[in-house]
Amino acid sequence: MEIVYVYQKKRKEFGRQPLFGDRPPEVTVHLPSDPALADNYVERNPMNVEMQAAPEMSEHEINTESIVMANQGIQHTEGGWPKDVDSTDVEHTLRYRRKVEKDEEYTRVVKTLSETLEHCIKQNNAIDIYDEYFASVKEELNTDPPSAKTLNVYRDPNPVKRTASCLSWYPEDGNRIAVAYSSLAFQQTPLGMTNESYIWDIENPNQPDQSILPSSPLVCIKYNPKDPHILVGGSYNGLVAYWDTRKGSYPADSSTIDKSHRDPVTSVAWVQSKTGSEFFSTSTDGQVMWWDIRKLAEPTETLWLDAEKNNRIVGGTVLDFEPTMPTKFMVGTEAGLVAMCNKKAKTPADRISHTYPGHLGPVFALQRNPFFLKNFLTVGDWGAKVWSEDVRSPLMATRAHTAYLTDGCWSPVRPAVFFTGRADGAMDVWDCLFKQSAPTLTVQVGASPIHALRVQEHGKVVAVGARDGSTTLLELSDALTKPQNGEKAMFSQMLERELKREKTLEAAAREKRLKAAQAKRPGSSGSAGKQQVDLVALLAELEANEQVQAANADFFKIIEEEQARLAKQQQANANAASAAAVASAAAAAAAGESA
């Protein structure tokens, strides 16, 4: 490839045209030598000096304008067939191929090309079997501190800014990201707000790659893992719709208003099926609905979220579905509970097998660990928790933050790493093998609260959506993306150890509560079955009271720590002010004495 350098300069900057000619030498200045200055110099012989009349210049490149790239598609139709052959007819094309293959020229050309191809393949495969090519290559432990840097920021192009409420990565190579924009404040939709959501090319932050036009602002969006051209989204008015990016910005089909959710659709998830066209959704109206994009007129199945089986419906906030468990799924609710559900249960009452009392507020994030499917992560109120299906208490929990946690997810490449987003605009990276009391890395993404957090499939890039409509891409360092030696085994041992400890504590607490309940009800009349039912009810009441008391204790402990910190800061400010006053008084006294 030829490299060409072009230097451009205006004609007026060249100056006057130089005219050269022959002329005899003449003396312009004569400076006689001073013998007294000879002692200041040292003679160097020989002496070589290079002189250049032109000033020295170096090449410099600068680009002050942003490059705007646009992608355009073309429709390719098969060509190259003779006029007498119909390319749409399979028999015609097959007959013509057979005719060409029998031609001697065709055989000669294929043989010539195969010889060239075989020669290239043999060159690529020519290695010395006695040479150790990778003997010196050793896997070195990465000692660099964890870090993250900003790659791009994609801002909502509309004048009325909205929240980037949900993110979904392109499933094949992660070169695009779909962002759903909506205003989540109840009945506070600003005037002039558009319903558009966008698909961004990660290499072009200047303008969206494609628009998505729903009938109502999208709250959630999800790519189809089998067909990357298909997206499904849930709207603020309760409708669900799907888009085919090859057919334009308008939805290919949408549900009807009378058969849809009654509240905003908070989460959607694709179901593992042969057709790849089934998904399900949840909403704060307390329903989970199953859909098929081939017929979106009405849901194929509906489940009411009666999590505690007391005829009290709770709203759903987030879904989690693991393809290797086709009948099981989990739902996070507004009440802070995580419901473990089974679609193939014998009776509707058995669809919700049990619940986990996760948080004091809504569950904003729920995801299974991609390496250990029995363990899952929940994010809500002021902390994040790691759970196991076998116990109803968390195995690990982060400390209570001063800011609300809004989203979280696991790393797809490291089993012990997960991410959380906070309402103060910061993202925390937790490495459970390194430490559990504090995050390994905290990145201040911006001043606006974080609302959505998704990691690319390769684990190198994190997309962060904020309330001001901006979506920031962060590139993680190798310390957060390359697994350590034996990390999976060590994290598995940690989870097993915590699971055994929780089971032991849970059994001891249950036995203690049963003994206390029996002591409080001595000689109660009635059958043994009724006594057992009463004991179970009393046990549930005691357990609920203990959870409330523990939550209250944690809450007031945080308040006391914050008050102590503020009092300490005020005392330090007062001491500094008094010291400054004493210093100024001493300076004034010294000035009076000198006067």
In the three-class reduction of DSSP (H, G, I as helix; E, B as strand; rest coil), residue 7 is classed as coil
DSSP secondary structure code for residue 113 in this structure? H
Q: Which residue has the tokens 């097998």?
A: 353
Domain presence at residue 9: no
Per-residue pLDDT of 433-460, as tens digits, reads 888 888 999 999 988 999 999 999 888 9
Residues near 461 by beta carbon (within 8 Å), at least 6 away in sequence: 151, 174, 202, 455, 473, 474, 475, 476
Average per-residue pLDDT in the chain? 84
Q: How many CB atoms lie within 10 A of CB 375?
A: 22
Per-residue confidence at 545, pLDDT binned at 50, 70, 90?
Answer: low
Q: Which residues pair with 234 in a beta bridge?
A: 220, 240
- Is position 88 within any domain? no
Alpha-carbon distance values, 586 to 537, 572, 577, 578, 593 (Å) = 73, 21, 14, 12, 11
Question: What does the pLDDT read at residue 526?
Answer: 47
63 domain-assigned: no
Give pTM, 2 decimals. Answer: 0.65
pLDDT of residue 227: 87
Sign of CA dihedral 88, 92, 95, 100: negative
Q: Output the furthest CA–CA distance in the chain (Å, rounded).
A: 137
Task: Tell whether the model's pLDDT for residue 117 goes beyond 90.
Answer: no
Q: What percentage of the chain has pLDDT greater than the value 70?
A: 89
Burial class (CB in 10 A: 0-12, 13-18, 19+), 63: exposed
Number of compact structural domains in the chain: 1
Q: Judge whether residue 145 has pLDDT over 60.
A: yes
Confidence bin at 539 (pLDDT 50/70/90): low
Residue 558 CA to residue 466 CA, distance in Å, equals 27
Sign of the torsion angle spanned by Cα atoms 118, 120, 122, 124: negative
| 565-573: average pLDDT | 85
Q: Measured between alpha carbons, how far is residue 543 from residues 169, 531, 551 in Å?
A: 42, 18, 12
Q: Please, are residues 408 and 384 in contact by the beta-carbon 8 Å criterion?
A: yes
Grade residue 552 by pLDDT with cuts at 50, 70 and 90.
Answer: confident
| Angstrom distance (rounded) from CA 57 to CA 407 | 54
Cα angle 189, 212, 259; round to 5 = 70
Q: Are 161 and 446 in contact (CB under 8 A)?
A: no
Asked if residue 80 belongs to a domain, the reply is no
In the structure encoding, which two tokens stand for residue 445, read together?
């993404």
Is 247 part of any domain?
yes
Q: What pLDDT is stored for residue 366 in this prediction?
A: 92
Domain that holds residue 307: 148-487
Buried b (16+ CB within 10 A) or exposed e, 510-522: eeebeeebeeeee
Instruction: Tell me whether residue 435 is in a domain.
Output: yes
Burial class (CB in 10 A: 0-12, 13-18, 19+), 358: buried
> Region 71-98: what's the mean pLDDT?
77
Residue 66 lies in a domain: no
Least Cα distance to 160 among 198, 192, 208 occurs for 192
| Residue in this structure with the two tokens 């110099």, named with its chain if needed | 41
Considering the domain boundaries, does residue 256 fall inside one? yes
349-363, 478-492, 502-516, 526-540: range with lowest mean pLDDT: 526-540
Cα–Cα distance for residue pair 307/392, rounded to 1 Å: 14
Q: Encoding tokens for residue 283? A: 């909403």
User: Residue 457 maps to which CATH number?
Assistant: 2.130.10.10
